[in-house]
Structure 1
């Protein structure tokens, strides 16, 4: 019993450390994305009257795609966690009062970690689109500065 108890404690510590890393990464990603979007649209406002229209339109299209992916990712997470929480609450309510599973919440951590694997499908295309949009906007910005 002691060896198994130590194993469970170590596994829980490991899961908690991963959970904290994911939390920090998600927080950092949101801050960077928000700053990037704000900077991009501030630059777009600066160059819109004098910009090369074709480059400007492509830049806006790419950034719109990046914003759409970012928002879709956040909506996906919101819906996923809402559904998970609702299903879990329903299942826990159906357990008998003496059931020890009513006190266990560790499975939530495992599900949160599994959720992180979906980040790449939203994050990478959003980043690439955002970078392309920013590069195009900088091209416009510098074309205006040198003209």
Structure 2
């Protein structure tokens, strides 16, 4: 892939991102009750995008190892076998020595980590970088140790 193709792909990604933001703003104006949820979703996405940028600048992007990272919390472990249970989900939140959060896991053909195969879906596994905002949301949703990794304000 030459430089002009990379630039074209980056420009297209930027156009899609701007369009998604504009769509979210339009939806929030039509239904103000959704505004906070949409804002949090966009904040988490942008937080993660900035984090990826910082990791790339440091030359560390893509180096996430569950054997060397700290297991923060098991987000989902329903006990199902990924080959037999389409909805099985085994996903955990990890933190690297430098403080970067990521999730890793495996799932059945209808789960978070599913893979496209032969026109359908199959069990899969993966690792995904998440920003602090998303990591906190995942911990809160799963009843994990939020206070151990984030400041908790009472009020």
Which TM class, normalised by the smaller chain length?
Answer: 0.3 to 0.5
Rg bigger for which structure?
A: 1
Counting strand residues as a fraction of each chain, which structure ranks higher? 2
Bigger relative CO (Cα 8 Å, ≥ 6 apart): 1
